[in-house]
Structure 1
Amino acid sequence: MSLEPQSQDLDQTDWVVYVVTERLKRVSLNEEQTWKKRCVYRVPAFDADLNHKAYQPQVVSFGPYHHGEDHLRPMEEHKHRALLHFLERSKKPLRAFLESLREVARDLEECYDALGPKWKDGGGDGAAGRFLELMFTDGCFMLEILRTATRAVDDYAPDDPIFSNHGKLYIMQYIRRDMLMLENQLPMLVLDRLVAVESDGEKDIEFINRLILNFCSPSTSITRMGNCLHVLDVFRKSMLMKPKMKVQHELGNAGHDDGEEIIQSVTELNEAGILFKKSTTDSLEDISFSNGVLRLPVIVVDNTTESMFLNLLAFERFHIRAGREVTSYLFFMGTIIDDERDVMLLHARGIIQNAIGSDKEVAKLFKSLAKDGILEPDSSLYAVHKKVSNYCKMPLHKCRANLIHIYSSNLYVALSVMAAIFLFVLTIIQTVYSVLSYYQ
């Protein structure tokens, strides 16, 4: 009787060993290469549900994540028209482009996090072919958008709903917004391959970078950026690039003990004698503090700012090699902006250009974007944070801030103090005059 259960247990154990072994065969131990290629990510539901529209394209899909969604279907027709224009202008056969993309199909698949079986090679029902077609169609459409918006091509009809001047005014702003969403990215490798075939290898990655910058950030004067992952990565790097300078981490004797100490708001810093001025560049890293002057880059806040920053934050959170510069900037700004008075002061200094009207909404936006952020001890902003904090702790500046804060909050008290000071000065003058008259 006791031998039968043992035999049964042995069969179950063998079966589990077999299943686990088969599963392990499909797991790659080359983890470094797997994570290194990944650059397009799904935003988790617990983040996306808080602001669904910030991560979901509203006009056009790029890549597999949102392809085929009902509200994006109307743009598919325009993608195919753009594809015909692209092929006719290139004078190259369709097969040449597809073969070039086929050579890197596996690399393109591995760029996407949690890519569904519908698109993966080996997924059946022509999955590999569908993925290749998607990369080609969306890549051509993206290149046409970038070129038409910057007047690089003009072979579309004057009344074209997308590529005409009318489309540039009313449609391109929404396409630009969708193009900067993390889930809506195409690997740069797609654009690189298409441009290489089209130009017979004469145009390099910097040509594509300039196309993207001219469309997403026309005022940027950056000439070289090197290899980038996708449009969002190009845009992010353009926000951080500035003339090379040595970063001074002047922490004094403070060390890293209170790195999470919250510095005061703009209004309170101003009361402590700190002046606010515009930085010499628009780089988000161009923030400095010296001789009581805090310099901040100019930032334009409009209806697309929240979506743009949320997607940049998500990219920095999921892509380990990206860095955390945007996260640090938003944390710093969220720390010094407490309410509409702070926004008003920065607006008066030309640092915040408010295009949404309400200073209160701008303050609320920065506070929400800074939530859960941190300053890393080795960042340049950490050093600025410490210097500002130490400046405010100096007795003279602390006393000045307290006096201004106390008396400016009560007009009656402030006027009384001013009157008392005035009378005191008059009394001194009268006394001096009386003494001089006596001796004369």
Structure 2
Amino acid sequence: MWCEKPVSAGSGKDWVVEMEKMLDGADRAAETARWSKPSIYRVPEWLKDMATDDGAYRPRLVSLGPFHHDDELLRPMEEHKRRAVLHIVKRSRKRLGEFAAAIAGVADELLDAYDNLGGRWRREDEGGRRRFVEMMVLDGCFLLEMMKGLSDRRAPDDYAPNDPVFSVHGMLCLWVGIRGDMLVIENQIPLLALYRLEQVWRGNTPLSEKDINNLVLNFVYDPLKDREMPREDIIENKLCLHPLDIYHKNFCELTEAGIHLKKCRGTHVIDYRSRVLCLPTVSIHDGTEKIFLNLLAFERLHGDAGSEATDYMIFMDNIVNSERDVALLRSKGIIRNLLSSDTEAAQLFNNLSKGAVLSPFSRLHDVRRKVNAHCRRPWNRWRAILEHNYMSNPCVLISLIAAAILLVATLLQTVYSVLGVYKS
């Protein structure tokens, strides 16, 4: 006869007890609150395997935040972070403790921004929380010093004119590298930290969350942005999550203004109703692939980010198949290609969207449907061939007109000859 065996210590009973303790956190409200906190993520291996650039998700010059804080290759910049803090404290005539207290007051919120951070940064007894506050002060002050220096177009007077980092020459030379590291998804610092540090720095001078957004946007500015579009139409009054979030919001505004047709303001190329498709101008350079890979990773890992960047890359992949397509878009001013060839630019678009799926809610489905319907009509294809092969070259066009006149004259002569025979 079967009978239940006694449960020994360390058996499944312990697992059941532990799981039952977690039941309270399994309801929808608790899980929604949990997943709404993180906004900075480590890129999973399956996503890294899809990237053609092995270093796309790693900073190369400066670490920001805890994920790459102990990277030996990034350690030389730590000295300059400390120098930035000392100069800011002295210049602002504030105490260092005020900057640390400002960060400590929001430490829980800053810690929660990092997904699966690990307990060592939170433990009070081991000094992890204190080290986290110190890191946020160092990283935040370093960024503020760099961003404000370039924004003012001048280096602070309290640095040596030949300073390797904080002179005009130093900031201009390091800008591309620092900007690239600021857009790495694993290398983000919450803008809340910058906001609190800037509050202390300014003292009684008014500061809005939009001021921090604009400061960061100016630093990570790229030719991808439409220079004619008012900045007020792009940046929110509410504090953004981090630098990559600002870049993402700026990019997605441009996507709506360009690809979604309704807000199109620039040069047009094709649309079903008027044979015009509006596309935003995009610059392709050595850092473009890294930036886009981190934008796509941010959308895949952060549920509230949307899918505009991913949808845009898939749409461009559908348009660009070869260097001839890049050349056409370049001739229309849609692509600014700073790479060595149009072939490289075409490969970039074709590689970035691998494994990605166009969102079922994307309005680009309607744009693509209109373009495909336009292309499927035989007359549109014939007219395109006629325009491309014959009407684009004046000499060929003149030859075509002459041939048409000769053909009509020949037909008329034949008709008159037939009519003459018929009358006879």
Bigger mean CA deviation after superposition, 150-159 or 169-178: 150-159
**Letter in structure 1 aligned against 2:242:** H
Deviation string for 1:142-172 (max 9, x for gaps)?
1111111222652222111112222233211
For the residues of structure 1 that align with 2:286 and 2:46, how far apart are their CA atoms?
23
How far does residue 231 in structure 1 lie from its aligned partner after superposition? 0.5
Q: Give me the TM-score of the superposition, normalised by structure 2.
A: 0.82
- 1:292-331 paired onto structure 2 within 5 Å: 292-331=275-314
- 1:222-233 paired onto structure 2 within 5 Å: 222-223=231-232, 224-227=235-238, 228-233=240-245
Unaligned runs of 5+ in 1: 251-278, 409-415
**Letter in structure 1 aligned against 2:78:** E
Match of 2:65 among 63, 66, 73: 63
- 1:25-44 paired onto structure 2 within 5 Å: 30-44=30-44
Match of 1:53 among 52, 55, 58: 55
Residue equivalent to 1:95: 97
Residue equivalent to 2:396: none
- 1:155-234 paired onto structure 2 within 5 Å: 155=157, 156-200=159-203, 202-217=206-221, 219=227, 221-223=230-232, 224-227=235-238, 228-234=240-246
2:265 paired with 1:280: yes
What is the CA RMSD across the aligned residues, in angstroms?
Answer: 3.8
Residue equivalent to 1:126: 127
Where 1:55 maps in the other structure, the secondary structure is coil
- 1:315-394 paired onto structure 2 within 5 Å: 315-394=298-377
Deviation string for 1:264-294 (max 9, x for gaps)?
xxxxxxxxxxxxxxx5359xxx996641111
2:156 paired with 1:154: yes
**Compared CA separation, residues 10 and 170, structure 1 to 2 (3 A):** closer
Kept after mapping to 2: 8 A contact 1:289/1:387 = yes
Where 1:52 maps in the other structure, the secondary structure is coil
Where 1:353 maps in the other structure, the secondary structure is strand
Kept after mapping to 1: 8 A contact 2:259/2:277 = no
**Compared CA separation, residues 239 and 85, structure 1 to 2 (3 A):** same
Residue equivalent to 1:116: 118
Kept after mapping to 1: 8 A contact 2:258/2:265 = no
For the residues of structure 2 that align with 1:53 and 1:15, how far apart are their CA atoms?
43
Kept after mapping to 1: 8 A contact 2:7/2:13 = no
For the residues of structure 2 that align with 1:369 and 1:243, how far apart are their CA atoms?
17
Deviation string for 1:362-415 (max 9, x for gaps)?
00000111222333343232221111111112232144457889999xxxxxxx
Kept after mapping to 1: 8 A contact 2:271/2:370 = no
Residue equivalent to 2:394: none
For the residues of structure 2 that align with 1:216 and 1:82, how far apart are their CA atoms?
20
Count of residues in correspondence between the two structures: 399
How far does residue 338 in structure 1 lie from its aligned partner after superposition? 0.3
Unaligned runs of 5+ in 2: 392-398
Match of 1:238 among 242, 250, 255: 250
How far does residue 198 in structure 1 lie from its aligned partner after superposition? 2.1
For the residues of structure 1 that align with 2:47 and 2:298, how far apart are their CA atoms?
13
How far does residue 241 in structure 1 lie from its aligned partner after superposition? 2.5
Residue equivalent to 2:395: none
Q: Give me the TM-score of the superposition, normalised by structure 1.
A: 0.80
Kept after mapping to 1: 8 A contact 2:255/2:312 = no
Kept after mapping to 2: 8 A contact 1:280/1:297 = no
**Compared CA separation, residues 89 and 63, structure 1 to 2 (3 A):** same
For the residues of structure 2 that align with 1:87 and 1:322, how far apart are their CA atoms?
36
Kept after mapping to 2: 8 A contact 1:82/1:140 = yes
Where 1:113 maps in the other structure, the secondary structure is coil
**Letter in structure 1 aligned against 2:138:** T
For the residues of structure 1 that align with 2:138 and 2:383, how far apart are their CA atoms?
63
**Compared CA separation, residues 243 and 297, structure 1 to 2 (3 A):** closer
Kept after mapping to 1: 8 A contact 2:84/2:142 = yes
**Letter in structure 1 aligned against 2:241:** L
For the residues of structure 2 that align with 1:37 and 1:342, how far apart are their CA atoms?
42
**Compared CA separation, residues 374 and 430, structure 1 to 2 (3 A):** same
For the residues of structure 2 that align with 1:347 and 1:222, how far apart are their CA atoms?
25
Residue equivalent to 1:264: none
Kept after mapping to 2: 8 A contact 1:331/1:370 = yes
How far does residue 95 in structure 1 lie from its aligned partner after superposition? 1.6
Match of 1:73 among 72, 75, 90: 75
**Compared CA separation, residues 293 and 25, structure 1 to 2 (3 A):** closer
Deviation string for 1:13-69 (max 9, x for gaps)?
6544455456x3996862222211110011112322442211110000100011121
**Compared CA separation, residues 239 and 281, structure 1 to 2 (3 A):** farther
Where 1:373 maps in the other structure, the secondary structure is coil
Kept after mapping to 2: 8 A contact 1:236/1:312 = yes
Where 1:378 maps in the other structure, the secondary structure is coil
